[in-house]
Amino acid sequence: MLSNKNIVITGALQGIGKTTLEYFASNGANVWACAQKPTYEFETFCKELEEKFCVWIKPVYFDLTNSDEMKAAVKTIQSSKQPVDALINIAGMAKDAIFHMVSMDTIKLVFEVNFFSQIQFSQYITKLMLRNPNPSSVVFVSSISALDGNVGQLAYGSSKAALIGAMKTMSKELASKGIRINVIAPGVIDTDMNKVVPQEVIDEKIQTMDIKRLGKPSEVASVLAFLASDLSKHITGQVIRIDGGIK
Amino acid sequence: MAKKLLEGKNAIVTGSARGIGHKTVEVFAAHGANIWACARTHSPEFDSYCTELAKKYSVTVKPVYFELTDLDQVKAAVKSIMEDKLPVDVLVNNAGITYNALFQMSTKELIDKTLNINFIAPYLFSQYIVKLMVRKGSGTVVNIASSAALDGNSGRSIYGASKASVICATKSMAEELGEKGIRANSIAPGITQTDMLSSMTDDVINETIMSTDSKQPGTPVDIANAALFLASDLSSYITGQVLRVDGGM
C-alpha cells in the first residue's frame, strides 16, 4: 500500500505512533521516525524494522515545542534529498481537568504541543512537499473529544478541534497544489493514554459503542495508512471517525 | 506485489454493469475477492468482463442478473447466491439512478421511482444478505450515497433525499448489527466521472469542480478504492460513518 513512499511520522516512540511506524514499514514505507529523545530501545526497534521489511527508517529527534530543534530536524529530513510523500502528525499530549479547574498555563501548554507546534512543523514539511512532483498527504490525529466534547478534556478537546479548523483551511489552500489534508478522530483506543481512566468509565463508554470493545492502535494505524496512500487520492478536507460507532 | 486487502473474501456488488460498480468489481478482484457481480440486464460483454477478471486475478467473478425493484427476482438472486454455499463477507450497494429536477417540477411518479430504486430496493436486498452475515457473525456493508445527501443541491431534492435515506438507514444498521460483528458505512461521492454526469450541464459540472479543494473531478476508481477501504479490515473499527470522496467540496 505504501511501497516507495517516504513518510514523516511524529510521536513514533510509543502508543499509536509506534504501532503506525511498524504498520507503515510492513507496508513498504520508508519513514523518518520522529521522537523527542533517543533511547536504545527505539534505535533497535527502527533497525529491526529496516531489516525485517527492507525499508529505511531514520530516527529524528526533537522536542516539538523547541523551534530550534524543530528547524534542525527539518534540515535533517531535507538534507536526505528524498521527496516527502506524507506527514503523519501523531505526537500529542492530554492533560485532563474539569473546566473550572483547568489553568490557563495548562491550556497553553496543551495547545503548544497539540496545535501550534504541529502547525509549524506542517508548514516546514508541506514546503518540502510542494517541491515533490508526486501528490502528497498530511494527516492530523484529532479526537472524538474535539467533535463531541468530553468531561475533563477542555484543553485536549479544544486543541484537537483547532486542528480540524486548520486542516480545512489547509485543504482549501493546498489540495489544488497536490497536497491532501485530512484528520482522523479516534475514539477510545487501548493505549497508555487511557490507562488513567477508571475501568467503570471505560465500561460505560463501551456500552454506547456499536462495536462493543476498545479500538486497537493497529486499527488507527490502518486508517492512517489508507489516508497516506493513493487509495484515498480524492479524499481531502475530511474528518474520519475511528470510534466503533460511539454515541 | 503489495498486500491484497480482500484475499479470500466473498463480496456482492450491485450495479456492476457500469461506472463505479464496474470499477469496484475490478478493484475488488485485484485485491483477491471472489465476487457476485450483480447487474440488471444480461449482456455478453459483461459476462466476458467477469470471465477476464476472474482469469487475470485468479478469483471467481460470477455475474448475477436481476431487476433490483422486482422482489421475486431479488429472492431468486439471493437463492442463487446462497446455493454457492460461500460465506458473504461484503455487500456493496451501488446500484442507483440519478434524477435532476427542480422541487416544483418533481412528479410523484419520479419521486416514487427514485426512492424505490435508490432506497427501498437496496434496503430489502440488504435484509436478505445481512441475514446471511449474521449467521456467521461477521460482515461489512458499504452503501454508495452522495454528497447531495449531505449538502442539498439545486435540482437534487429527490435524489439527495433518497441518498440521505440510505445514510440514515446505514447508521441504524451499524447500531443494530455492530454487536453481531457487522459494520455498515456509507460513501458520499462528489462529482465523479460516470454516465450519471450526463444529467448535469457542463457549466454546472465545471463550476462544481472548481469549487472543490482539489479542483478535480473524482473517478470511479477513487470511489472503488474507498469501498475497498470500508470493505476491508483496514477499517475494522469504523462503523456508522459517511466517508466523503469528493476532493473537498
Give the contacts of B55 (CB within 8 A, at least 6 positions apart): none
- A237 to B213: CB separation less than 8 angstroms, yes or no: yes
pLDDT reported for residue A56: 98
CA distance A21 to A8: 9
Direct distance between the N- and C-terminal alpha carbons of chain A, in angstroms, rounded to an integer: 32
CA distance B93 to B163: 12
Percent of chain B surpassing pLDDT 90: 94
pLDDT reported for residue A195: 82
Instruction: Report whether pLDDT(A152) > 60.
Output: yes
Is B1 within the bounds of a domain?
Answer: no
Q: Angle, nearest 10°, between helix axes B157-177 and B121-136?
A: 20
CB A7 within 8 A of CB A32: yes
Q: Is B247 on the interface with A (CB under 8 A)?
A: yes
φ and ψ at residue A171, rounded to 5 degrees: -60, -40
- Tell me how close the Cα of B59 comes to any Cα of chain A, in angstroms: 20
pLDDT reported for residue B199: 80
**Does A40 participate in catalysis according to the annotation?**
no
B85-141, pLDDT tens digit by residue? Answer: 999 999 999 999 998 899 999 999 999 999 999 999 999 999 999 999 999 999 999
Q: Angle, nearest 10°, between helix axes B157-177 and B108-115?
A: 30
- A225 to B229: CB separation less than 8 angstroms, yes or no: no
Is B2 within the bounds of a domain?
Answer: no
Is B189 within the bounds of a domain?
Answer: yes
> CA-CA distances (angstroms) from residue A151 to A97, A127, A239?
8, 38, 22
pLDDT reported for residue B3: 84
Query: Nearest by CB to A235, which of B3, B237, B245?
Result: B245
Average pLDDT, chain A: 97
Instruction: Report whether pLDDT(A167) > 70.
Output: yes
Burial label, A119 (beta-carbon count in 10 A; 0-12, 13-18, 19+): middle
Q: Average pLDDT of B60-68?
A: 98
Instruction: Report whether pLDDT(B40) > 70.
Output: yes
Residues in chain A, how many? 247
Q: Average pLDDT of A196-222?
A: 95
pLDDT reported for residue B1: 47
B1-34, pLDDT tens digit by residue? Answer: 478 999 999 999 999 999 999 999 999 999 999 9
Is B3 within the bounds of a domain?
Answer: no
Instruction: Pick the range with the lowest mean pLDDT from A50-59, A94-103, B8-17, B26-35.
Output: A94-103
Q: Average pLDDT of A2-24?
A: 97
- AA identity, residue A206: I
- AA identity, residue B244: R
pLDDT reported for residue A200: 93
- A175 to B178: CB separation less than 8 angstroms, yes or no: no
Q: Average pLDDT of B58-77?
A: 97
Q: CB-side exposure of A81: number of CA atoms within 13 Å?
A: 0
pLDDT reported for residue B13: 98
Give the contacts of A82 (CB within 8 A, at least 6 positions apart): A6, A30
Q: Average pLDDT of B209-227?
A: 97
| Window A:27-86, CB contacts with B under 8 Å | 27-28
What's the domain range around B113?
Answer: 10-241
Cell of A216: 486497537
CA distance B95 to B182: 21
> Other C-beta atoms within 10 Å of B215: how many?
13
Residue B169: CATH number of its domain = 3.40.50.720
> CA-CA distances (angstroms) from residue A37 to A40, A45, A183?
10, 14, 26
What ranges in chain A are assigned the alpha helix state H? 15-26, 40-53, 67-79, 104-111, 117-130, 144-148, 154-174, 199-207, 217-228
Q: Which of A180, A211, A213, A223 to mutate to test the interface with B (most CBs of B within 10 A)?
A: A211
Counted domains in chain B: 1
Identify the CATH number of the domain defined by range A6-242.
Answer: 3.40.50.720
The pairing of beta strand A30-35 with beta strand A179-186: unpaired
- B234 to A28: CB separation less than 8 angstroms, yes or no: no
CB A96 within 8 A of CB A153: yes
Is B249 within the bounds of a domain?
Answer: no
- Tell me how close the Cα of B70 comes to any Cα of chain A, in angstroms: 32
Instruction: Report whether pLDDT(A192) > 90.
Output: no
B164-205, pLDDT tens digit by residue? Answer: 999 999 999 999 999 999 999 999 999 999 988 888 889 989
CA distance A102 to B134: 47
- AA identity, residue B226: A
